[in-house]
């Protein structure tokens, strides 16, 4: 054997004594493969050890593994669904869950848990089933059609009936539709249709009594007068003239298209970059007489709505019609100087339905999928009956008993300081422009007049 055969490889020049010899690329690749194999094996062994440790710890504490107890039920599969429902919002602080407040969502989730549509393991938090609503509604606002997406246990063929058994009569589940796993009722909603129902007496000429109070009584001493029996009789007997109805329809038509609605929502966080919204249409039906009073139904379809937007859109047209203001005023308010547009009462607003045309079209094009189209059409008769009994009748009954719309109109007339832009010339005076951070009332009297904006008891976007 040659001397070179027994020679130990020398350390590379300049390398410290004891340093390992330089590794070849082939050796690196082999070592890497061995490490990966060893790492995978180690992970499996580590997972098995941790599982055995937790099992032993559970046994030591007397814990019964899932499925081993007579009282525990086996895990049931959850499916992504679109749950269709409707509700009367009277007595509720809006749709979205809010700690300490009675909301539609809180009662719905309790019913889902009680009916077995949500397991006990997920009953502590609705986020565990990824519950999401298509639209949020304000305090007291109703919905004939609403969609909630979530992961739900649907093996029971009577699950919808059981959900309704755990709900109050003013909240109803119409049914559910299996959807794709990525379905989200808020982000996949193309548009929303709302209806606003109002008594036509709101278009009567301004009250001379209220105007006199506003002219002669200091703001701190003003009181909104209650309607007298004579005034109530006049309101019930009032019928909308064809000219006023046409003005209302022309005004509603100006909302069609894309506009800057920063004057039609709360001002906080609202800028020209996030206040544009697109309306497909806004229409008024023919007036109808209910319980001796005349009512008008307004319907709007838009891609989305900001907080209070629909109520402010309606409120502006009511005041313009009463004051004889020109339609050109609306053009000045779209993205114009900041003014206070009063929001009409929430009593008359209801969500007709969210629309999922884009999602439904994609679903129909995929014939092999188990998902269905999200539509309320199969439940139309049931929804119409519910809407009449729990929504329309409730709106009329409340108005007849409390004169809600009369109080709203009179409050604006008694405190007109913020609404001087509602005039026959259609001019926005400096006195009507809101300066951020500055109250239009004396601090001592601020509580007496209508607040510029307040949303302490209401929810946020997509509610109108």
Report, as residue numbers or ranges, the catalytic residues: 138
Contact status, residue 142 vs residue 349, Cβ threshold 8 Å: yes
- Tell me how far apart the alpha carbons of residues 148 and 83 are, in angstroms, rounded to a whole number: 5
- Tell me how far apart the alpha carbons of residues 240 and 221 are, in angstroms, rounded to a whole number: 34
- Tell me how far apart the alpha carbons of residues 152 and 129 are, in angstroms, rounded to a whole number: 7
Structure tokens at 342: 């009063």
Contact status, residue 48 vs residue 108, Cβ threshold 8 Å: no
User: Own/partner pairs for 204-208, CB < 8 Å, 24+ apart?
Assistant: 204/234, 204/235, 204/238, 204/322, 205/322, 206/322, 206/323, 206/413, 207/409, 207/410, 207/413
- Tell me how far apart the alpha carbons of residues 239 and 231 are, in angstroms, rounded to a whole number: 14
The number of residues in the chain equals 464
Contact status, residue 173 vs residue 167, Cβ threshold 8 Å: yes
- Tell me how far apart the alpha carbons of residues 208 and 239 are, in angstroms, rounded to a whole number: 20
Which alpha helices (H) appear in 334-392, and where do they start and end? 357-365, 380-386
Pairing of strands 349-355, 142-152: parallel
Q: In Å, how far are 91, 201, 297 from 250, measured between CA atoms?
A: 35, 19, 15
Which class for 98: exposed (0-12), middle (13-18), buried (19 or more C-beta within 10 A)? middle
């Amino acid at each position: 054997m040659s001397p070179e055969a027994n020679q130990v490889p020398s350390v590379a020049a300049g390398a410290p004594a004891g340093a390992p010899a330089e590794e070849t690329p082939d050796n690196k690749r082999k070592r890497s493969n061995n490490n990966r194999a060893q790492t995978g094996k180690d992970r499996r062994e580590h997972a098995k050890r941790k599982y055995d440790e937790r099992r032993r710890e559970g046994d030591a504490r007397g814990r019964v593994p899932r499925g081993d107890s007579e009282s525990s039920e086996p895990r049931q599969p959850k499916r992504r669904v679109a749950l269709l429902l409707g509700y009367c919002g009277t007595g509720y602080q809006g749709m979205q869950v809010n700690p300490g407040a009675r909301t539609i969502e809180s009662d719905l989730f309790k019913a889902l848990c009680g009916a077995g549509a949500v397991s006990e393991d997920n009953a502590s938090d609705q986020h565990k089933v990824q519950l999401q609503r298509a639209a949020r509604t304000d305090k007291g606002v109703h919905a004939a059609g609403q969609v909630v997406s979530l992961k739900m246990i649907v093996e029971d063929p009577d699950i919808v009936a059981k959900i309704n058994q755990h709900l109050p009569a003013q909240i109803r589940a119409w049914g559910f539709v299996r959807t794709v796993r990525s379905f989200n009722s808020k982000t996949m909603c193309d548009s929303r249709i709302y209806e606003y129902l109002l008594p036509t007496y709101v278009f009567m000429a301004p009250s001379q009594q209220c105007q006199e109070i506003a002219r002669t009584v200091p703001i701190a001493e003003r009181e909104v007068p209650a309607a007298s029996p004579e005034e109530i009789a006049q309101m019930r007997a009032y019928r909308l003239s064809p000219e006023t109805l046409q003005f209302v329809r022309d005004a509603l038509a100006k909302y069609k298209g894309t506009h800057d609605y920063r004057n039609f929502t709360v001002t906080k966080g609202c800028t020209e970059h996030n206040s544009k919204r697109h309306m497909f249409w806004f229409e008024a039906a023919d007036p109808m007489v209910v319980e001796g009073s005349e009512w008008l139904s307004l319907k709007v379809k838009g891609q989305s709505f900001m907080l209070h937007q629909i109520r402010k859109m309606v409120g502006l047209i009511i005041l313009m019609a009463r004051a004889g203001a020109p339609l050109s005023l609306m053009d000045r308010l779209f993205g114009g100087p900041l003014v206070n547009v009063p929001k009409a009462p929430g009593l008359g607003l209801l969500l007709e339905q969210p629309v999922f045309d884009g999602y439904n079209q994609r679903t129909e094009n995929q014939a092999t999928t188990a998902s269905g189209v999200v539509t309320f059409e199969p439940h139309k008769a049931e929804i119409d009956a519910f809407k009449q009994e729990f929504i329309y009748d409730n709106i009329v009954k409340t108005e007849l008993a409390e004169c809600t719309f009369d109080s709203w109109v009179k409050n604006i007339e008694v405190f007109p300081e913020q609404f001087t832009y509602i005039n026959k010339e259609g001019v926005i005076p400096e006195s009507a422009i809101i300066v951020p951070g500055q109250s239009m009332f004396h601090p001592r009297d601020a509580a007496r007049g209508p607040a510029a904006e307040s949303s302490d008891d209401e929810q946020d976007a997509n509610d109108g």
